[in-house]
Amino acid sequence: MSVKTVAYTGNEAVAQAMKQIHPDVVAAYPITPQTEIVQIFSTFVADGLVDTEFVTVESEHSAMSATVGAAAAGARAMTCTSSQGLALMYEVVYIAASLRLPIVMPVVNRALSGPINIHCDHSDSMGARDSGWIQLFSENAQEAYDNVLQAVRIAEHKDVLLPVMVMMDGFIISHALENVTFLDDETVRRFIGEYRPDYYLLNPDHPITVGAFDLFDYYFEHKRQQVEAMRMAKPVILEVGQEYGRLSGRSYGLFEGYRLEDAELAIVVLGSTAGTAKAVVDGLRREGVKAGLLKLRVFRPFPREELAQALRHVRALAVLDRSDSFGVVGGPLFAEVRAALYDLPERIPTVNYIYGLGGRDIDLEMIGRVYADLAEIARTGRPRELVTYLGVRE
């Protein structure tokens, strides 16, 4: 096996992963900041580097519909999108999950309109958090590449058979140039294996029906199956993450704890902000502050027990949300983390910071202020504010 390190943007790295996966069908529509993925992949098709059937569609609703059709027919099918594109494919996003089609879809996170904005936040993928898709978040281009390859294995595992979204932060990851280490084509081919669906529409020896009307006498049972598939996904994600580690030297779990074992003050964060926060943690540690970090990789299925176990010793906790949920207390990540901590014998004071909406920068100084707040909360035992809007002008 040979590895190759190249300076690539996140979009280039994901397009490279798609080339190596070599799907039977890709149906996609361009939307900033995801456009490059489709554009680069279409040049691979035009240059004959892949023999993927590339379907140019008129909208994201059609992109997901074509992907669902291809997957039901028995193809290994992919698409990718951002923001409004994900919103437009919404009804079919749910159908992909409920039909149990193992589609892999990179999602380049971008704020939802309005007002119209093209920059990063997580409101797009958070809107799809109850759609039944597995959701993996990436800190950088390397993780985006690694996650897309692993997503194929997770989605197609016989105990799972669910679609997987792989997130990376729009522009911050998608357009920034970073060193990315790639596996060679043959290693990827062996890792993902050949796709052999058990039931599919283009099998003349065993005709089946997909997408039939499902009434009150069966719909509930099919939803219960989806719950079980999500439950089964957790050990599969861990198993695939270990196997990928043996191949690449980069193992993956449900989340990454960074200087967390003995941390007293910790934050939970998704995506590229974890990289910035790690630098803050290192600085604080040099000053003798027991700061730590939990970077969540798997948002669905949400690793409730594991997360509570990893955080149970901290004295004050902040959850950073790059999207808000209007009319409730805090963002979606905050709600999940707080619910996960509810069953711990000791209550951990936990606060929420909404940050970075519409691509607003978050820097070392801002994250430093979060840790300063946590030190105060640890001292007094109670927070002053439950939800803080980090970086908004008053």
Partner 1 sequence: MSASKESAGPQPKEYQGKIQPGWREIPRGGMILQAGNAREFETGDWRVTRPVWIPENCIQCLFCWIYCPDAAVLLEDGKVIGFDYAHCKGCGICAHECPGKRGAKAIKMVAESEAEEASQA
* Residue 232 near partner 1 by CB under 8 A: no
Of residues 48, 114, 115, 209, which one binds partner 1 by CB under 8 A?
Answer: 209
* Residue 210 near partner 1 by CB under 8 A: yes
The least CB distance from residue 129 to partner 1, in Å, is 20
The least CB distance from residue 79 to partner 1, in Å, is 19
Task: Tell me the residue type at 288.
Answer: G
* Residue 381 near partner 1 by CB under 8 A: no
- 320-349: which residues touch partner 1 (CB under 8 A)? none
Nearer to partner 1, 214 or 282 (CB): 214
- Scanning 32-40, 51-59, 118-126, 220-228 for contacts with partner 1 by CB under 8 A, the matching segment is 220-228
* Residue 159 near partner 1 by CB under 8 A: no
Which distant-in-sequence residues (6+ apart) come within 8 Å of 194 by Cβ?
none
Of residues 39, 59, 113, 225, which one binds partner 1 by CB under 8 A?
Answer: 225
Going by C-alpha positions, the residue among 382, 319, 393 that lies closest to residue 354 is 319
Of residues 185, 214, 363, 385, which one binds partner 1 by CB under 8 A?
Answer: 214
Nearer to partner 1, 2 or 209 (CB): 209
The least CB distance from residue 214 to partner 1, in Å, is 5
* Residue 218 near partner 1 by CB under 8 A: yes
Which distant-in-sequence residues (6+ apart) come within 8 Å of 227 by Cβ?
none
What is the C-alpha separation between 116 and 359, in angstroms, rounded? 12
- 272-301: which residues touch partner 1 (CB under 8 A)? none
CB 286 within 8 A of CB 275: no
- 85-104: which residues touch partner 1 (CB under 8 A)? 98-101
The least CB distance from residue 269 to partner 1, in Å, is 34
Nearer to partner 1, 210 or 247 (CB): 210
CB 142 within 8 A of CB 250: yes
Q: Are strands 255-258 and 53-56 parallel, antiparallel or unpaired?
A: unpaired
* Residue 202 near partner 1 by CB under 8 A: no
Nearer to partner 1, 196 or 206 (CB): 206
The least CB distance from residue 61 to partner 1, in Å, is 20
Residues in the chain: 394
Cα dist. 297→88, 134, 165 in Å? 25, 11, 12
What is the C-alpha separation between 332 and 122, in angstroms, rounded? 10
What is the C-alpha separation between 375 and 212, in angstroms, rounded? 56
Which contacts of 11-14 are long-range, i.e. CB under 8 A and separated by 24 or more positions? 11/36, 11/37, 11/40, 11/108, 11/174, 11/175, 12/36, 12/40, 12/141, 13/141, 13/142, 13/144, 13/145, 13/180, 13/182, 14/80, 14/106, 14/144, 14/145, 14/148, 14/166, 14/168
* CA triple 152-153-157, angle to 5 deg: 120
The least CB distance from residue 145 to partner 1, in Å, is 30
* Residue 199 near partner 1 by CB under 8 A: yes
Of residues 208, 279, 364, 392, which one binds partner 1 by CB under 8 A?
Answer: 208
The least CB distance from residue 127 to partner 1, in Å, is 23
Nearer to partner 1, 54 or 94 (CB): 94
* CA triple 9-11-17, angle to 5 deg: 105
* Residue 161 near partner 1 by CB under 8 A: yes
Which distant-in-sequence residues (6+ apart) come within 8 Å of 159 by Cβ?
229, 232, 233, 236
Nearer to partner 1, 112 or 164 (CB): 164
Residues in the interface with partner 1 (CB under 8 A) total 22
Q: Which residues bind partner 1 (CB under 8 A)?
A: 98-101, 161, 199, 206-212, 214, 217-218, 221-222, 224-225, 228-229
